[in-house]
Structure 1
Amino acid sequence: MSSAPPAKRRRTESEDEGDQPVIVRSTEYWFDDGNVILQVQSTQFRLTRSFLAMHSPVFRDMFSLPLPPDEPLVEGCPVVDLPGDTSQDWTYLLRAMFPQECYNPARPLVAPICAILRLSKKYDMAGLRRHCLGLLKMEFPTSLEDFDKQTLVWTHFSIPDTVTTTVACVEIINLARELGLYSILPGAFYKLLDDEGHKGLLGDDLAKLNDKQDEVACLKAYVKMSQTFADGPFSWLGAQSSISWAGCATASRCASFRNSILIQVLLDHDLVAMQLQPWASGAWDNTQCASCLSKAKASFDAARKDVWEKLPSYFGLEDWATLRKMDFE
């Protein structure tokens, strides 16, 4: 353990005193009965060693070591400098460790969950890590069956009005790359493309991906999925459909219906965003004869499953089974 800020180089005559960061105490997590101070960037948190050790074997092992006899103290407490962390991440983590309400919110914000997962992995806080991993894997599942259980655009997280889906997905993709959480990448990439269709690819948000190859992969995936739309789940609507409509009792009416749906899809929807949309039972079941309906649904379901299996490959990723094995746990 070391005394508050790490040693700084000597300032030159041209440098101003204001260039040095001002060390501040956390307004939320400075406890008078604390016996250790964590310094993260320019913020100090005064906590208890026993509490940190209870949650983290990393801190437990650290605190088991005796202090050097000349260790500088601040208000009688040793100061532990945590390089590489951010004070905002630690504030999110401590809010989870010191909840002010009895129950966690059903749909937390993305930023705190990313921060807590990042630090809980680094400091081996198993319970917090499992909770965050569970939320991310439920939001971005690896099976179509679990994907179909999603009831909202964001089922397990809440997104403020000031944050777009693109921004939230970029944060999650960056975290997944940083920690090695590969199985959520296809779903996060797809949700990013599904952010109002191609609008999610415009502007500066996509450029915030840490790996520029991910930015290129998103653009390539959008083009490829758009080009293969005619062979996907909606191929049953096309004039060149491979389905035999023999047995249709109302051929003219059913064909007219299919044509009207195709026009609506092409005009009103983003082609990539529609690739994994479920069958619209209320809109498509009632105006086709039983024979056409059965064949159309079978074709739609089979093609949709095929899109799901191919989804990782659109972004240059391994198959689902391999991605699950590659996860850090």
Structure 2
Amino acid sequence: MDDSYIPIQDRKQHPTLWFDDGNIVLTTNISRFRVHRGLLSMNSPVFADMLSMPQPDRIEDGYEGLPVVEISDNDADFTHLLRFFYDHRYYQGGTETTFEKVSGLLRMSTKYQVDDLRTEIIAHLSLAYPSTLEHYMKAVDPDTQLPLFPPFHGQHFAVVHLARETDASILLPAALWRSMCMTTPGILEGTVDSNGTRHMLPPGDIRICMLTKSQIYKKLVRMESMLTKKGRLGCVRQQQNGGSGVAPCTEIATSSVINHFASPGLELVDDNDMFAEMKAFEKWRHLVCHVCRHAADSTLSSHRTRWWSALPLFFGLPEWNNSQNASN
């Protein structure tokens, strides 16, 4: 027998999930639960199949005269699932909870085919990792309060791990994008949360995020430069000057972009999110005339829409519709 094996009688009896009228004992490597076969079967087709097999009249290896089923799942994850079975208010989508509960329930609802719960949790996580650009812009707005879970360092990496583990493909494009927007040292070395836990991407995702970061930075520089030329033909200030020469707004914008990327001593942090902000653009946007500003805004909006449509492809993922189908 494995030296780490703990006899059933030595495992911790759960303080609330131990019912005197329960008719089956479930055990993890830490806890014992005395629960009800009917409730398990009603909530999960996996349990229904598992418990449909005939039980012997005499139980040699039971506990207190009851059949015992040993569960290989993580003790905390499985406890979350049982608590949900007994009270569906234990988890309610759209209300703030903890990442431990959300992740545990998503793993368990996937394994035990509790489909409604799985769908609700994925929808909950989609508040921060959505499939539409409109919802993404709300999610990254610093003034938005998401009823999700308290944010923590490394959470984007943790969500990527969770989405991979549970085949929640619809979460991956936004989660990988937000991971890619972390700094290079953060991607390569991981990030430590307040509890001292280091969160890292899977090795394959580290590679794809670094490759994508290089490509996206090139797109960023090209877009920052291109925006300076929008609106020049209708520039109000150029018309006021007789319509000849370089548009004044173009000169203002170009100078701002050059200063942004070339200022001596400027520390460039590679945590760029092109959907959330264009740092050079924001420096000159309010300085140009309304025609140039509107033309640049329209161009940027159009490009962001195309980038978002192609976002899954940046990371070698199926297109948005296919990701949605896979998650379901």
Secondary structure of the 2:233 match is coil
Match status 1:220 vs 2:216: no
- The amino acid of 1:274's aligned partner reads D
Secondary structure of the 2:26 match is strand
Q: Deviation per CA, 1:30-73, whole angstroms, max 9, x where unpaired?
A: 23332211112232222122222221122233333321233232
Q: Normalized against structure 2, the TM-score is what?
A: 0.78
- The amino acid of 1:119's aligned partner reads M
2:312, 2:318 within 8 Å by CA — same for their partners in 1? yes
Matching residue within 176, 184, 187 for 1:189 = 176
Greater mean deviation of Cα atoms: 64-73 or 197-206? 197-206
Matching residue within 175, 184, 187 for 1:201 = 187
Provide the residue aligned with 1:54 in structure 2.
Answer: 42
Unaligned runs of 5+ in 2: 193-197, 238-246
Q: Normalized against structure 1, the TM-score is what?
A: 0.77
State the Cα distance separating 1:80 from its structure 2 match.
0.7
State the Cα distance separating 1:101 from its structure 2 match.
6.7
Pairing 1:103-142 to 2, within 5 Å after superposition: 104=92, 106-142=95-131
Matching residue within 167, 172, 179 for 1:180 = 167
Provide the residue aligned with 2:80 in structure 1.
Answer: 92
1:277, 1:265 → 2: CA distance?
Answer: 18
Pairing 1:16-55 to 2, within 5 Å after superposition: 19-21=4-6, 23-55=11-43
Provide the residue aligned with 2:303 in structure 1.
Answer: 303
Greater mean deviation of Cα atoms: 256-265 or 307-316? 256-265
Pairing 1:302-321 to 2, within 5 Å after superposition: 302-321=302-321
Provide the residue aligned with 1:276 in structure 2.
Answer: 275
Match status 1:230 vs 2:217: no
- Count of paired positions: 303
1:296–1:101 distance in 2 versus 1, CA, 3 Å: same
Greater mean deviation of Cα atoms: 252-261 or 280-289? 280-289
1:130–1:268 distance in 2 versus 1, CA, 3 Å: same
Secondary structure of the 1:70 match is coil
2:22, 2:34 within 8 Å by CA — same for their partners in 1? yes
2:24, 2:67 within 8 Å by CA — same for their partners in 1? yes
- The amino acid of 1:60's aligned partner reads A
1:99, 1:263 → 2: CA distance?
Answer: 59
1:76, 1:155 → 2: CA distance?
Answer: 48
Pairing 1:237-248 to 2, within 5 Å after superposition: 237-238=227-228, 241=229, 243=230, 245-248=232-235
1:182, 1:323 within 8 Å by CA — same for their partners in 2? yes
Greater mean deviation of Cα atoms: 302-311 or 290-299? 302-311
1:118–1:100 distance in 2 versus 1, CA, 3 Å: closer
- The amino acid of 1:224's aligned partner reads Q
2:232, 2:250 within 8 Å by CA — same for their partners in 1? no
1:29, 1:47 within 8 Å by CA — same for their partners in 2? yes
State the Cα distance separating 1:116 from its structure 2 match.
0.6
Secondary structure of the 1:33 match is coil
1:178–1:253 distance in 2 versus 1, CA, 3 Å: closer
Q: Deviation per CA, 1:130-181, whole angstroms, max 9, x where unpaired?
A: 2112112343222223323425577342235xx31x2x22222122222222
1:100, 1:184 → 2: CA distance?
Answer: 24
- The amino acid of 1:203's aligned partner reads E
- The amino acid of 2:111's aligned partner reads K
- The amino acid of 1:96's aligned partner reads F
Q: Deviation per CA, 1:213-240, whole angstroms, max 9, x where unpaired?
A: 11211111112211221233x34445xx
CA RMSD between the two structures: 3.4
1:98–1:169 distance in 2 versus 1, CA, 3 Å: farther
Provide the residue aligned with 1:158 in structure 2.
Answer: 149
Unaligned runs of 5+ in 1: 1-7, 12-18
